[in-house]
Amino acid sequence: MGGDPYPIRRMQDADVAGKTVLVRVDYNVPLQDGGIVNDERIKASLPTLEDLLVRGAKLVLVTHLDRPGGKPVPSLRLDPIAERLGELLSRPVRKLDDCIGPEVASAVAEGKAGDVFLLENIRFHREETTNEAGFARQLAALADLFVNDAFASVHRAHASTLGVADHLPAYAGLLMQREVEALARLMSDPERPYLAIIGGKKARSKLGALRDLLARVDGVLIGGGVAFTFLRAGGASVGASEVDEGLLVEIPEILTSADQLGVGIDLPEDAVVATEVSDGAETEIADARAIPDGWIGLDIGPETIRRFQARIAAAKTIVWAGPMGAYEFEPFAAGTRMVAEAVADSDAYSVIGGGETGEAIERFGLTDRVSYISTGGGAALAFLRGKTLPALEALRE
């Protein structure tokens, strides 16, 4: 990637004609009643697969699905994924019943250029998550080279993301390259002001990221369930809102660090509250620091939205991880929707940290109006925190 701040080996530079390519994809898609609910992750892999096929490769695809705990789970088999991928590629995709073993090796060996094989759910083997060397060696033995296109898993040192790179020439797929390019732009010299928007239900999942981001950003907006733990740590009454009591000692330290660094942290002034989480819930607007007993804070309120909109409009770089409330339910969707519209309307370079935030952007029809939506929420945050991502390091030039 030339002078890019994070140079990695690109699949465009590999000779794949007549070769068998092991491709780590991320098809961890939601299933319901045996069908795929959302196929965006499958579609995201198509440019990589189509490029390799046009250049004469035979493909062996590897992915995990959910967390089967190292044993086969019938409902987590990949047959519906193979079927959908075949439709999208307009060619047969042969799903194999395992990931390793003589039958798998024989099937792949008998294939020809242009064939596509999908191995069974890699997490049916406990050796995947422990990165067992012999297991990684057997996977690698199926192919001539390795292409990793599963950015969402690069922070995991698993056999199919890291171990196989010890045995095969390893390259980044096209999606992996786009992810790294988009996120590296926030690391090298972001245009300022650089604003982080942090939300989501659980404060614990965001606190480490927030702590590390303080040294990189100019301001932070905090909404969602995360905000109520912060408010409670400051002595506020937050009713029955979700609070992680174990974090109340840490939060004042984070606020002190932010103050020392000159980074403003904005918390909600008001909140949409209810006594239940449902589409039919009766709501009220309450002072975010004085929520009545028994009431739950489930979205940021109108005053907070206006203040957040003004901060967003002034930003030149934005990273957003976590919705502002329980946006899946209409009474609590306004905060996330209006923050999303403000990001879309801004002139800032905006990166959305995947997961629920990406789903919200899609739901509100704003996908084409933000700069980039990452496919890996946890991996994206780890990258932006400056953490070492094992599987990505294996692709370094």
**CATH number where 227 lies:** 3.40.50.1260
- The pLDDT confidence band at residue 2, using thresholds 50, 70 and 90, is very low
* 8 three-class SS: strand
Residue 231: the pLDDT is 97
What is the mean pLDDT of the segment spanning 43-50? 97
Catalytic residue (one of 19, 24, 41, 232): 41
Radius of gyration of the chain (CA): 23
Catalytic residue (one of 10, 55, 201, 202): 202
Catalytic residue (one of 354, 358, 377, 378): 378
- The pLDDT confidence band at residue 4, using thresholds 50, 70 and 90, is low
Token pair 């701040």 in the structure block, residue: 5
Do 170 and 259 share a structural domain? no
d(CA 236, CA 163): 48
Do 93 and 200 share a structural domain? no
Last residue of a domain, one of 124, 149, 177: 177
Q: Of 5, 382, 393, 29, nearest to 206 (Cα)?
A: 382
Pair of tokens at residue 147: 């292409």
Q: What is the DSSP letter of 362?
A: H
Q: Which residues in the chain belong to E strands, given as ranges? A: 20-24, 31-32, 35-36, 58-62, 94-95, 116-118, 145-148, 170-172, 194-198, 219-222, 237-238, 264-266, 270-274, 283-287, 290-291, 296-300, 317-321, 349-352, 372-373
Q: What is the DSSP letter of 365?
A: T
Do 265 and 148 share a structural domain? no
Kindly report the pTM of this predicted structure. 0.87
The pLDDT mean for the chain works out to 95
What is the mean pLDDT of the segment spanning 285-293? 98
Do 169 and 39 share a structural domain? yes
Residue 136: the pLDDT is 98
Catalytic residue (one of 199, 322, 355, 376): 355
Do 232 and 143 share a structural domain? no
| C-alpha distances in Å from residue 105, one per residue of 78, 98, 111, 119, 338 | 18, 10, 10, 11, 52
- The pLDDT confidence band at residue 207, using thresholds 50, 70 and 90, is confident
Do 202 and 135 share a structural domain? no
pLDDT exceeds 60 at position 99? yes
Q: What is the DSSP letter of 22?
A: E
Q: Is 184 a domain residue? A: no
Q: Is 394 a domain residue? A: no
Residue 3: the pLDDT is 46
Q: Is 378 a catalytic residue?
A: yes
Q: Is 54 a domain residue? A: yes
Token pair 């095969």 in the structure block, residue: 168
Q: What angle do CA 205, 348, 252 make, to 5 degrees?
A: 35
Query: What are the φ/ψ torsions at residue 45 (nearest 5 degrees)?
Result: -85, -15
Q: Is 3 a domain residue? A: no
Sign of the four-CA dihedral 124, 129, 132, 138: positive
pLDDT exceeds 60 at position 73? yes
Residue 307: the pLDDT is 98
Last residue of a domain, one of 123, 150, 177: 177
Q: Is 337 a domain residue? A: yes
Do 142 and 209 share a structural domain? no
Sequence-distant (≥ 6) Cβ neighbours of residue 276 within 8 angstroms = 296
Q: Is 202 a catalytic residue?
A: yes
Q: Which residues in 121-234 belong to E strands, given as ranges? A: 145-148, 170-172, 194-198, 219-222
d(CA 295, CA 298): 9
Pair of tokens at residue 148: 């990793």
pLDDT tens-place string over residues 335-349: 999 999 999 999 999
Do 339 and 300 share a structural domain? yes
Q: Total structural domains in the chain?
A: 2
pLDDT tens-place string over residues 129-172: 999 999 999 999 999 999 999 999 999 999 999 999 999 999 99
With beta carbons less than 8 A apart as the criterion, state whether 279 and 331 touch.
Answer: yes
pLDDT exceeds 50 at position 319? yes
Q: Is the peptide bond before 193 cis (omega within 30 degrees of 0)?
A: yes
With beta carbons less than 8 A apart as the criterion, state whether 364 and 337 touch.
Answer: yes
Give the range of the structural domain holding residue 278, as residue numbers without chain letter: 190-384
Do 379 and 350 share a structural domain? yes
What is the mean pLDDT of the segment spanning 380-391? 88
Do 150 and 216 share a structural domain? no
Last residue of a domain, one of 177, 203, 232: 177
Do 210 and 332 share a structural domain? yes
Pair of tokens at residue 136: 């990684």
Q: Is 74 a domain residue? A: yes
Q: Is 363 a catalytic residue?
A: no
pLDDT tens-place string over residues 21-41: 999 999 999 898 889 998 989
Residue 5: the pLDDT is 63
pLDDT exceeds 60 at position 1? no
Q: Cα 384 vs. chain centroid, distance in angstroms?
A: 12
* 184 three-class SS: helix
Do 220 and 142 share a structural domain? no
Amino acid present at 100? I
d(CA 372, CA 366): 11
Q: Is 391 a domain residue? A: no
Residue 26: the pLDDT is 96
pLDDT exceeds 60 at position 182? yes
d(CA 56, CA 34): 33
Q: Is 67 a catalytic residue?
A: no
| C-alpha distances in Å from residue 23, one per residue of 15, 141, 332 | 15, 13, 40
| C-alpha distances in Å from residue 216, one per residue of 92, 193, 195, 209, 286 | 47, 11, 9, 11, 33
Q: Is 324 a domain residue? A: yes
